[in-house]
A and B are shown apart, each in its own frame.
Chain A
């Protein structure tokens, strides 16, 4: 399975990408929503996208909206991974088409649990 990790923080891309790699994912990274959208438009369609909210150029919510406008990308599972923890923000993201929402800070187990709920844990981890 292939995951696209979208975050303007290189550290967060390493953390999220590392946890996903341990689960057997191949990882592609993007530093903002536009860079991620460019990858999709170039033909790269991941199984999962983990998306920060606050990023320069294009934020995560705009990316979710853009993905959901294109039926060719309807199979991409979208998970927000963000510091935005207010109820209203969570509702906005889910209404826009995000499937799951993980609030920073999180533990590796919390990310694995979210993926498990989505049926997206490709390997059994002891």
Chain B
């Protein structure tokens, strides 16, 4: 585990992703984002569902005394619907792949920013990335699954090893 964490800092040293950002914290931040950005009546239901074989992920890195990553994963169709909801009435009739990448990436960016703000030490956020396969997670991977409009939406928080 120690190789997954950055240099020891009081309050963060040795902490896992789940200890720093427990499930209820992740859910509270995600719920706030859904209510503000996706729609007042849009809820993330804390239940497991099936992830399809083809998914899309968006992730941001947190860089500071603790180095970690926040990854948002769902089906391609849910990512498109989330982007459409995010844009409210301003979405084009047809969302292209770049629109979805941008919108879904921004959701991960806001989620990562909300979680970063709760860390005990100041940190910075990397720009969002989007792809079919996020970078591999470490052993302290902390998965929070929900259902949105019946589609599974996963948030994974994990530590990231220091570069060698």
Contacts and interface: CB of A to CB of B under 8 A. Distances in A.
Nearest to B34: A105
Interface string A29-45: 00000000000000000
Interface residues of B, number: 27
A54 B36 contact: no
A62 interface: no
A39 B113 CA distance: 28
Contact of A83 (B87, B103, B110): B110
Nearest to B33: A105
12 contacts: A9-B103, A10-B98, A10-B102, A15-B86, A18-B90, A54-B124, A54-B127, A83-B114, A83-B125, A85-B117, A86-B117, A104-B113
Contact of B83 (A11, A82, A83, A105): A11
Interface in B93-116: 98-99, 102-103, 105-106, 109-110, 112-114, 116
Nearest to A14: B90
B122 A104 contact: no
A71 to B, nearest CB: 31
B41 to A, nearest CB: 13
Interface string A92-114: 00000000000011110000000
A106 B36 CA distance: 6
B37 interface: yes
Interface of A: 8-12, 14-15, 18, 54-56, 82-86, 88, 104-107
B102 to A, nearest CB: 5
Contacts of A104: 37, 110, 113
Chain B binding surface, main DSSP class: helix
A86 B122 contact: yes
B83 A56 contact: no
Contacts of A84: 113, 117, 125
A15 B99 contact: no
A90 B113 CA distance: 14
Given A9-B106, A10-B102, A106-B36, A85 B87 contact: no
Nearest to A84: B113
A107 B88 CA distance: 11
A9 B122 contact: no
Interface string B120-164: 001011010000000000000000000000000000000000000
A88 B99 contact: no
Given A56-B127, A83-B110, A86-B117, A15 B87 contact: yes
B37 A105 contact: yes
Contacts of B116: 83, 86
B88 A15 contact: yes
A8 B127 contact: yes
